[in-house]
Amino acid sequence: MDLRDYLWLVPALPLAGFLILVLLWPWADALSRRLPAGRGLPPMLAGWLATALVGAAFALSLGLGAQFLNAAAIAGEDAGHEPAEGVAAAPEPYVQRLWTWMEVGRDQVEVTAARADLPQLEEIPVGAVGPSWIAVDTVRQLNPKALEALGPAMGRMWQPELTAGLRPVGADIPAGGLVTLDSLPPSGDVALENAAIAQPRSRHRFAVDMALQLDGLSLLMLLVVTGVGFLIHLYSIGYMGQDAGIRRYFSYLNLFVFSMLMLVLGANFLVLFVGWELVGACSYLLIGFWHQDPANAAAGRKAFVVNRIGDFAFIIALMLIWSVFGSLDFARVFSQAENLLPLGGALAVAIPALLLFGAAGKSAQVPLYVWLPDAMAGPTPVSALIHAATMVTAGVYMSARAHALFDRAPVVLAAVAVVGALTALLAALIATVQVDIKRVLAYSTISQLGFMFMGVGAGAALAGVFHLMTHAFFKALLFLGAGSLMHAMEHGFHHANEHPQSVDGIPAPQDMRRMGGLLKRAPVTGWTFLIGGLALAGFPGLAGFWSKDEIVHALHQRSAAEPLFLALWLMALLTAFLTAYYTGRQLCMVLFGAPRSSGAAEASDSPWVMTLPLVVLALLSVIGWLPGNPLAEHSLLATYVLPVVGGEHGGLDAAGAATATAIAFAGLGLAWLAFGPGRRLIDADRLAQRFAAVRRLAWNRFYVDEFYDRLFVAPFKRLADFFWRVVDVGMVDGLVNWVGRLTVGTGQLLRGWQSGQVRAYALSVLLGAMVLVWYLFQQAWGG
Amino acid sequence: MSVPPGHFMALSAILFSIGVLGVLLRRNVIIVLMSVELMLNAVNLTWIAAGRALGDIDSHIFVFFSLTVAAAEVAVGLALVVAIYRSLGRTDVDDISMLNG
């Protein structure tokens, strides 16, 4: 059985969950209430249903993965590799076309010259004469080999009389008069097809298939999305079990998984874009899940609007891609990038630059990162799934996927790395002073996404994707752990019968200043949180260590020749140090020392549905680096993902590993000295006082939000105000009101005549009749 | 010796004018109605006189129709007068001005 036939089922399962929860649930609920002693469906059933469907998608993805590896092994043997080598060639990407999504217009060909204009047509040897002699000539220039393949078709390509201009292929061109290589009947001849592609064409036909693509990269994303998604669904059953909106929550969550799967499975840019937009919509819905609080709704709106700014650039990039390639299919676009995008040309720069801007919006990079910290207003599992593990990595995925376009503009690739480095450093600086447990993780996510961008920009897209995967594990773990700890704190406060106020706008259960000693009170959550934190900090041997240092290594390798990358490398090292520091600070404040509030003192661990995903993710944070093992020559990622994302397999050398270890220990050690339990060797408060200015800057997030507010939001509001007050109220409404007033005024003038006096009417009739009679007399007898 | 048509025309013009003045100047509904009848019959007289002068019989037939319609109109008019009197207690035309603007 070929499991790949069922590839469509992977996104279809969560979609089915969404539809069932939204459409069928109310109906089934009403039905069950009508039964004797029926009390409606238990709300928890919605959670289990959604979880089961995502779990089924994950199981199917695992099966697909197994078959993929199996097929790869067979392909490797067929290719004549020694099985002993253990090297399998990556199978060809598998594309599943579900249906023709849209097809507009017809193929047209530009006939550049009439027969009379062609010089000495007779001199062209028999058999080489084509209808579009010019076109064939173009092919000759572009791809000399293709012309040979055209040989048999040449005889049919005769068009004696053709005037210059654009004409559609087909109807009005006589049979046998094939003008374009496009209209050759499909012969299954690959070379012929290449020849057809070598001709710029399809300018007037827009055709997109709803198609899914399975290759190493999308398989990896598939497993991460469904796997982490399944664990987070499971966790949500515990976390959201008491919430009144549980059905709404799980329907959104299922819709998100579906959208994300469309994003990573799409075989062309449009399917990717639809998924891209849908995940943004789900993000909006889930950030504002508790929309009763206007602040949450505002956070959702902010995320959506900032994302739309990036999406706008993305749409323009899609249009440019279509205008250059005449297609949006990955296979077509990427294989033709070298031919159609001259290195350093305007379009070659514009397309990846716009894609980068789009990716910066979705992946929260400078300058569009401001939405992600606010996105923590949503439920914590949502932060874990959408705003840490999956959706925000879409930009990295897309940049890695479209590396063929980025490769045509080295300057944009460098820009990717610079954007990543700036984001990573800025976010890490901000994270060092935050005291909200989720906010630290949010800035850490932005920072780590910056690392991934650095990897992609340095030409080591594989390292970026590798970090994407490990980050998904340990950051999901950290967020879920934070949620579990908040849960524990809430429980503690409840137990102590206390209702503490928010300080600095941070609710008490997520305020790290009130935590401490939670490792003892909530052991499972505490230990797994510790593992996640160490993985993030780059503790040697854990997942984050390998992937992050592969990126740093890639930067280091390029720094020898390029000074820019030397600077980026140093920034990456500094960021790695800061990462270890703020992670250590967080771990110390949360897990160690004495409890700093009754909530922490009375906290207790969460139920198994919440801790089980933590344990699994902790395990993955420890061993999750094995598929991408930088030490092995032929790790799974290097074998199957590298052909898709291009670039080089970075690896890791001893010096790099030693530096990374030293940095991680330095950061963790500094944090331990400043915030660790017992006697503090470094007084953090005095340090804070000494660097009060820097601290205030970081605490206020470098005033970037305020800056954007002044620069964009306020002028926009003024503009909207102008349109409201002047254009709408003044002009549009004014015009309507003016017409109304005119009518009323005219009526006021005329109402006097309507006296109701019959004799007055009779008099006016008489006068009218007299005028009429006088006129008729004038006509008849007047001179 | 027959009466010349001009005399008929003059008489009907005088009758018509009396009717018009009655409609315009009198305020009692019944008088107004009578004046309307007078105007109507002045026109009928014109018609008959013209038919006689021109030797045309059709106009006579039209006058019969006109008389019939006038009879019906009087019936309706008097019924309205009764209705007005019942509801207002008076028959003054100027009091019936509820349809003013």
Q: Are A460 and A551 in contact (CB under 8 A)?
A: yes
d(CA A355, CA A317) in angstroms, rounded, equals: 6
Residue of B96, B98, B101 lying closest to A751 (CB–CB): B101
Is the pLDDT higher at A598 or at A620? A620
**Cβ-based contacts of B97 with chain A (< 8 Å):** 755-758
Please tell me the distance in Å from A768's CA to the nearest CA on chain B.
Answer: 14
Q: Give the pLDDT of residue A168.
A: 44
Examine the domain organization and report whether A676 and A711 are in the same domain. no
Whether B98 sits inside 8 A of A757 (CB atoms) is no
pLDDT for residue A80: 52
**Most B CBs within 10 Å: which of A758, A765, A770, A773, as the mutation test of the B interface?**
A758
Q: Which residues pair with A168 in a beta bridge?
A: A108
The pLDDT value recorded for residue A174 is 34
Tell me the CB-side half-sphere exposure of residue A222, using CA atoms within 13 A: 29
* Structure token digits, residue A680: 């503090």
Output the pLDDT for position A156: 37
Spatial CA neighbour of A9 closest among A74, A69, A54, A50: A54
A759 pLDDT higher than 70: yes
> How far apart (Å, rounded) are the C-alpha atoms in residues A575 and A453?
14
Would you call A434 exposed, middle or buried from its count of C-beta atoms within 10 A (0-12, 13-18, 19+)? Answer: buried
Q: In this predicted structure, what is the pLDDT of residue A304?
A: 94
> Nearest by CB to B94, which of A754, A757, A766?
A757
Chain A CA closest to residue B28: A759
Same domain? A193 vs A169: yes
The two structure tokens encoding residue A378 = 């949503």
Give the total number of structural domains in chain A.
3
Q: What is the pLDDT of residues A218-229, one digit of tens each?
A: 999 999 999 999
Task: State the distance between the two ends of chain B, measured CA to CA, in whole angstroms.
Answer: 57
- Partner-chain contact A756 B101, CB within 8 Å: yes
Tokens 């199978």 belong to A91
Predicted local distance difference test score (pLDDT) of residue A637: 86
Is the pLDDT score of A154 beyond 60?
A: no
The pLDDT value recorded for residue A108 is 53
The helix, strand and coil proportions of chain B, stated in percent and rounded to the nearest 5, come to: 80, 0, 20
Q: Is the pLDDT of residue A378 over 70?
A: yes
Q: Is the separation of the CB atoms in A574 and A424 below 8 Å?
A: no
In the Cβ-directed half-sphere of A180, how many Cα atoms lie within 13 Å? Answer: 23
Q: Is A750 helix (H, G, I), strand (E, B) or coil?
A: helix
Residues A547 and A685 in one domain: yes
pLDDT of residue A782: 78
Residue A316 lies in a domain: no
| Chain A residue with Cα closest to B98 | A756
A749 to chain B: nearest residue by CA?
B101
Which residue has 């993305």 as its token pair? A314
Residue A166's H or E segment, with its range, is: strand A165-168
DSSP A530-549: HHHHHHHHT-TTSHHHHHHH
Evaluate whether residue A289 is within a structural domain. Answer: no
The domain limits of chain B are: 5-92
Question: Does A659 share its domain with A568?
Answer: yes
Please identify, among A185, A205, A225, the residue that sits at the C-terminal boundary of a domain: A205
Beta-carbon contacts of A121 under 8 Å, excluding residues fewer than 6 positions away, are: A115, A129, A133
Interface residue B76 vs chain A (CB under 8 A): no
- Retrieve residue A362's tokens: 């979705």
Q: Which residue does chain B place closest to A757, by CA atoms?
A: B97
Residue among A757, A761, A764 with most chain B CBs within 10 A, to mutate: A757
Domain that holds residue A452: 409-699
As a whole-number percent, the residues of chain A with pLDDT over 90 amount to 52
Measure in Å the smallest separation between the Cα of A733 and chain B Cα atoms: 29
Cβ density class A527-564: b for 16+ within 10 Å, e for less: bbbbbbbbbbbbbeebbbbbbbbbbbbbbbbbbeeeee
Q: Is A87 helix (H, G, I), strand (E, B) or coil?
A: coil
Please give, rounded to a whole number of angstroms, the shortest distance from the CA of A763 to a CA of chain B: 7
Average pLDDT of span A313-337? 89
Distance between CA A456 and CA A414 in Å, rounded? 9
| Contact call for B24 and A757, based on CB within 8 A | no
Task: Give just the sign of the alpha carbon dihedral A662, A664, A665, A669.
Answer: positive
A140-165: b (≥16 Cβ within 10 Å) or e? eebbeebbebbeebbeebebeebeee
Regarding whether A445 and A501 lie in a shared domain, the answer is yes
Q: Are residues A670 and A611 in the same domain?
A: yes
Residues of chain A above pLDDT 70, percent: 85
Mean pLDDT of A379-408: 92
A contact test, residue of B17, B27, B99 with most A CBs within 10 A: B99
Average pLDDT over residues A102-111: 62
Banded model confidence at residue A468, pLDDT cuts 50, 70, 90: very high
Q: What is the mean pLDDT of residues A356-385?
A: 92
Shortest distance, CA A759 to any CA of chain B (angstroms): 5
Selected residue of B17, B35, B100 to mutate for chain A interface (largest A Cβ count, 10 A) = B100
Judge contact between A186 and A228, C-beta under 8 A.
no
Position A768 scores a pLDDT of 95
Is residue A599 very low, low, confident or very high in pLDDT (cuts 50, 70, 90)? Answer: confident
On whether both A626 and A715 belong to a single domain, the answer is no
Do A525 and A493 share a structural domain? yes
Between CA A630 and CA A622 the distance in angstroms is 15
Size of interface A-B (CB pairs under 8 A): 35
Same domain, A426 and A509: yes
Same domain flag for A763 and A676: no
User: Does residue A510 lie within any of the structural domains?
Assistant: yes
Query: Residue A111 — left, alpha, or beta (φ > 0 → left; ψ -120 to 50 → alpha)?
Result: beta
Give the model's confidence band at A466: pLDDT under 50 very low, under 70 low, under 90 confident, else very high: very high
3-state SS class at A109: strand
pLDDT digits over B26-44, tens only? 989 999 999 999 999 999 9
Shared-domain flag, residues A423 and A571:
yes
Contact A755 B97 (CB under 8 A): yes
Q: How much is the pLDDT for A77?
A: 64
Question: Which of A29-33, A60-64, A200-204 is least confident?
Answer: A200-204
pLDDT classification of A679: cutoffs 50, 70, 90: low
Report the interhelical angle of A394-401 vs A461-495 (nearest 10°).
170
* CATH no. for B5-92: 1.10.287.3510
Q: Is residue A508 part of a domain?
A: yes
Q: What ipTM does this complex have?
A: 0.88
Report residue A509's pLDDT band, with 50, 70 and 90 as the boundaries: confident
Inside any domain, residue A557: yes
Pair (A611, A735) in one structural domain: no
Mean pLDDT across chain B: 91
Q: Which residues of chain B neighbour A769 with C-beta distances below 8 Å?
A: none
Please report whether residue A76 resides in a domain: no
Q: Do B100 and A755 touch (CB under 8 A)?
A: yes
For the cut 80, the answer to whether the pLDDT of residue A201 exceeds it is: no
Contact at CB, A756 and B100, closer than 8 angstroms: yes
- Within A23-158, strands assigned E span 94-104, 108-111
Determine contact: B80 vs chain A, CB below 8 A. Answer: no
Q: Determine whether the interchain pair B93/A759 forms a contact, defined as Cβ–Cβ distance below 8 Å.
A: yes
Question: Hey, is the C-beta of B97 within 8 angstroms of any chain A C-beta?
Answer: yes
pLDDT of residue A382: 94
Q: What is the pLDDT of residues A54-79, one digit of tens each?
A: 999 999 999 999 998 888 777 666 65
Asked if residue A420 is part of any domain, the answer here is yes
CA distance A748 to chain B (A): 9
At A106 the pLDDT is 61
Residues of chain A in Cβ contact (below 8 Å) with chain B = 750-759, 762-763, 766
Q: What span, in angstroms and rounded, lies between the C-alpha atoms of A354 and A369?
A: 16
